[in-house]
């Protein structure tokens, strides 16, 4: 598929290039995607999105995570609209804030309390601030290559960032207990916290589920040092286990940062924490003009209520496994090596012998032309609107995409 020169997407990109630096910025910049991917979208419904030229896609990015129950989920929309008719951003919160905090405390195993923000970065930064306030210490251990937000202390880019922004960050390697212990040793008696992702989901490499040894080491180090174990659930939260992404390992964090899926696309983030951090959480000063907006809170209550009632996590895992099994079988048939890693409900599809992602890009470009929106380098997301029919539809497009990769490999050989 080639981009039509006279498409509305092209026209919008041209307009944007005049009034937005680089035409777009951040993780949704289409320049980071293969040719043919649209930059602008006109509408969304369930697990489908339409670009501004009216082309529909069966979507496996789910807004990069926020779309959890499907766009326009009737119960979420009804709750949001009911609250919107009353009031959204007022002089203080509405009852929905208390309901949502109660629901989180009841749902998340480690949570004795909750606080709300807007961005995932707000939530991770708040966790670090609380850990420092509670311990009176400064050092934070973070995994090399992990994404915890796009603010100076953790941005993946160092452009415009000073060395001091990261003065107290010590790096370890995910799933490497020894490197974690070495970093803790280096922090000495100045260790405020250890931040861990729910699983390893770095850009452009195989995902890794946490090992029991790593999770235990993180917990033990924090217990031994009186530091806070901070779980970054921004990306994975509510897709693996509503009670917490390390529950299957028997490891609970002291603080967790949530966002993305918490309100099915309405802008919201949350920090949950254990009792010993409550006082520090009440002493720090963090706030934002829209943090108590009642509509996203009401959407969050509805989202969590549906998640608890409908077994959405199990559905996502089953559909993700269907997609994974189907792709593995298709790849075998086409004689292609495919690496599918991490939790099935957050698929990562990488090709063997594809350091420059050319195979992945050809696969995605071809699938996109067939109406299925995959990502060649970033983990993807399933939502509740993905059913067996949608997985079959995705596999039919993937079959054509894999055939294109196989054909290209034959020609190149």
Name residues contacting a copy of itself, limited to 31-90 (CB under 8 A): 38-45, 49-50, 52, 59, 61, 63-67, 71, 86-90
Number of residues that bind a copy of itself (CB under 8 A): 106
Phi, psi angle pair for 227, to nearest 5°: -100, 165
- Smallest distance, a copy of itself to C-beta of residue 404, A: 22
- The contact mask relative to a copy of itself for 166-185 (x = CB under 8 A, - = no) is -xx-----------------
- Smallest distance, a copy of itself to C-beta of residue 299, A: 10
* List of residues 6+ apart from 249 with CB closer than 8 A: 210, 212, 215, 216
Q: How far apart are the first and last CA of the chain?
A: 24
Q: Which is nearer to a copy of itself, 79 or 97 (CB)?
A: 97
When asked if residue 153 is in the footprint of a copy of itself (CB under 8 A), the reply is: yes
When asked if residue 349 is in the footprint of a copy of itself (CB under 8 A), the reply is: no
- Smallest distance, a copy of itself to C-beta of residue 321, A: 24
Q: Pinpoint the alpha helices (H) of 64-203.
A: 74-86, 95-107, 120-135, 177-187
Q: Which of residues 122-151 bind a copy of itself (CB under 8 A)?
A: 122, 125, 128-133, 138, 150-151
CA distance 386 to 364: 19
- Smallest distance, a copy of itself to C-beta of residue 335, A: 31
CA distance 56 to 43: 9
- The contact mask relative to a copy of itself for 255-294 (x = CB under 8 A, - = no) is ----xx----xxx-----x----xxxxxxxxxxxxxxxxx
Q: Which is nearer to a copy of itself, 101 or 317 (CB)?
A: 101
Q: Which is nearer to a copy of itself, 33 or 218 (CB)?
A: 33
Among 262, 238, 381, residue whose Cα is nearest residue 311: 238
Buried b (16+ CB within 10 A) or exposed e, 11-41: ebbeeeeeeeeebbeeeeebeebbebbbbbe
CA distance 61 to 128: 28
Burial of 64 (0-12, 13-18, 19+ CB in 10 A): middle
When asked if residue 15 is in the footprint of a copy of itself (CB under 8 A), the reply is: yes
When asked if residue 110 is in the footprint of a copy of itself (CB under 8 A), the reply is: no
Q: Which of residues 350-409 bind a copy of itself (CB under 8 A)?
A: 373
Q: Which is nearer to a copy of itself, 39 or 341 (CB)?
A: 39
């Amino acid at each position: 598929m080639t981009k039509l020169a006279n498409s509305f997407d092209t026209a919008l990109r041209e307009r944007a290039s005049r009034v937005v630096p680089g035409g777009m910025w951040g993780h949704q910049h289409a320049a980071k995607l293969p040719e043919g991917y649209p930059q602008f979208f006109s509408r969304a419904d369930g697990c489908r999105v339409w670009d501004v030229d009216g082309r529909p896609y069966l979507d496996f990015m789910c807004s990069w995570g926020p779309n959890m129950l499907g766009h326009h989920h009737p119960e979420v929309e009804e709750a949001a609209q009911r609250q919107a008719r009353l009031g959204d951003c007022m002089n203080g919160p509405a009852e929905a804030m208390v309901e949502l905090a109660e629901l989180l405390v009841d749902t998340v195993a480690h949570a004795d309390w909750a606080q709300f923000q807007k961005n995932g970065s707000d939530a991770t930064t708040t966790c670090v601030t609380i850990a420092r306030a509670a311990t009176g210490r400064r050092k934070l251990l973070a995994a090399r290559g992990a994404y915890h937000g796009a603010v100076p202390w953790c941005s993946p880019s160092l452009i415009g960032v000073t060395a001091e922004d990261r003065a107290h960050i010590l790096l370890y390697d995910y799933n490497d207990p020894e490197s974690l212990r070495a970093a803790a040793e280096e922090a000495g008696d100045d260790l405020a916290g250890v931040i861990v992702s729910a699983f390893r989901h770095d850009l452009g490499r195989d995902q890794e589920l946490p090992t029991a040894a790593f999770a235990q080491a993180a917990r033990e180090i924090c217990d031994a040092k009186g530091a806070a174990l901070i779980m970054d659930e921004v990306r994975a939260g509510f897709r693996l286990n509503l009670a917490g992404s390390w529950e299957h390992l028997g490891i609970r964090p002291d603080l967790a940062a949530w966002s993305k899926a918490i309100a099915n696309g309405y802008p919201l983030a949350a920090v949950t924490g254990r009792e010993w951090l409550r006082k520090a959480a009440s002493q720090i000063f963090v706030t934002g003009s829209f943090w108590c907006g009642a509509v996203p809170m009401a959407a969050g209550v509805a989202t969590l209520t549906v998640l608890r009632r409908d077994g959405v996590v199990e559905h996502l895992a089953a559909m993700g496994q269907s997609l994974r099994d189907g792709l593995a079988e298709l790849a075998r048939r086409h004689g292609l090596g495919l690496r599918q890693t991490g939790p099935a409900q957050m698929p990562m599809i990488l090709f063997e012998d594809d350091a420059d992602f050319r195979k992945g890009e050809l696969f995605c470009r071809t699938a996109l032309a067939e109406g299925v929106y995959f990502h060649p380098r970033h983990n993807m997301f399933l939502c509740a609107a993905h059913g067996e029919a949608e997985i079959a539809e995705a596999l039919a497009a993937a079959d054509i995409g894999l055939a294109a990769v196989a054909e290209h490999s034959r020609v190149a050989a």
